[in-house]
Amino acid sequence: MDEFSIDQVLAEVAVLVKPHFGKGRPADYIPQLATVPGSKFGMAVCTLDGGEHVIGDADEPFSVQSITKVFALGLALNRFGDEVWTRVGKEPSGTPFNHLSQLEAEGGVPRNPFINAGALAITDHLLETVRDPAALVRGFAGFLADAPVQIDEAVAASELAHAHQNRAIAHLMRGRGTISHDPEAVVAAYCRQCALTMSCRQLARALLPLAAGGFSPVIQETIFPERLTRRLNALLLTCGIYDSVGSFAYRVGLPAKSGVGGGIVAVVPGKAVICVWSPELDRFGTSVVGTAALEAFSQLTNCSVL
């Protein structure tokens, strides 16, 4: 992927995705997110050699939502190691990200850290060492992106006001002993974490360590051990897109994480990180245009890992 060809590819992708606008709808169960125009589209590619290639609204901050789960999990694994896996599994769920009956049937242990139950368990873990896990995640993401990033308090309040399913999940896990803190405190911290705002360029920069064996070319520091980086990418490939992860792997073939704010980050190991944003979602909670853009990019560059 040379620099000239990446710019050409992004221009071609922007044309190819036009028929996909209007096929989804924003996350209207979080009212603040429903106000974002569906026509928004940005894409950024950050390469290990320092190249940055953008198109559209790639520098406009948006609500990162569940993509923050990658930062939170990385922090937890760096701090607690394999102890994390005593509270949460590593298997695809095959169910929606806020599913409750599966969690109850399986004794209150979440299938993986990227569904909401798993993310709440990670937040509970972080509460053992910090009073404000959302601020920790914000600081970590900003450090990796080498840029100040913010939490949108209006989005956080909107999300918390409608977090009934997440409250039910947290109370179930508290009853089963999976989490140890007050469920309301855990949900509040999680909602603030999800309200982090970043741009496509910032997200691609921040997650470059996943493409570089744990090393950040942006800040010139090792963030994760190489072994941990491989495991994070494996989890992204098998669990990062919820119950449509198989379809996404079939179409795109890259480790990735989506968020209901319309963002998707995909890792090309050894080469680059790609972030795309478009707020209209499919029925699984993943950006329609974003998935189409990554599929087109993968096909045009032959960068799939599968």
> Does residue 98 have a known ligand-binding role?
no
> Does residue 298 have a known ligand-binding role?
no
**Final residue of a structural domain among 147, 167, 195:** 195
My answer on whether 181 and 203 are in the same domain is no
My answer on whether 131 and 228 are in the same domain is no
My answer on whether 43 and 71 are in the same domain is no
Mean pLDDT for all residues in the chain: 95
pLDDT band at 3 (very low <50, low <70, confident <90, very high): low
Return the DSSP state at 273: E
Tell me which residue range forms the domain holding 190.
Answer: 66-195
**Final residue of a structural domain among 195, 229, 254:** 195
- Could you give the CA distance from residue 216 to residue 21 in angstroms, rounded to a whole number? 34
My answer on whether 170 and 263 are in the same domain is no
Lowest-confidence region among 6-15, 25-34, 247-256, 263-272: 25-34
At residue 93, the pLDDT reads: 84
pTM: 0.95
My answer on whether 113 and 172 are in the same domain is yes
> Does residue 260 have a known ligand-binding role?
yes
My answer on whether 43 and 90 are in the same domain is no
Return the DSSP state at 24: S
At residue 88, the pLDDT reads: 96
CA 284 to chain centre: 14
- Could you give the CA distance from residue 208 to residue 217 in angstroms, rounded to a whole number? 7
Residue 64: is its pLDDT beyond 80? yes
Q: Cα-flanking dihedrals φ and ψ of residue 260, to 5°?
A: -75, 0
At residue 242, the pLDDT reads: 83
pLDDT band at 230 (very low <50, low <70, confident <90, very high): very high
My answer on whether 73 and 175 are in the same domain is yes
At residue 271, the pLDDT reads: 96
> Does residue 166 have a known ligand-binding role?
yes
My answer on whether 14 and 29 are in the same domain is yes
Please report, for the domain that includes residue 187, its CATH number: 3.40.710.10
> Does residue 226 have a known ligand-binding role?
no
Lowest-confidence region among 183-192, 239-248, 294-303: 239-248
My answer on whether 205 and 283 are in the same domain is yes
Total domains in the chain come to 2
My answer on whether 38 and 113 are in the same domain is no
Lowest-confidence region among 28-32, 181-185, 260-264: 28-32
Average pLDDT over residues 235-252: 93
pLDDT band at 1 (very low <50, low <70, confident <90, very high): low
My answer on whether 142 and 21 are in the same domain is no
Choice between 32 and 263, residue whose per-residue pLDDT is larger: 263
pLDDT band at 84 (very low <50, low <70, confident <90, very high): very high
My answer on whether 87 and 173 are in the same domain is yes
**What pLDDT, in 10s, does the model give residues 249-282?**
999 999 999 999 999 999 999 999 999 999 999 9
**Final residue of a structural domain among 179, 195, 211:** 195
**DSSP calls for 96-134:** -TT--HHHHHTTT--S-TTSHHHHHHHHHHHTTT-S-HH
Other Cβ atoms closer than 10 A to 116: 25
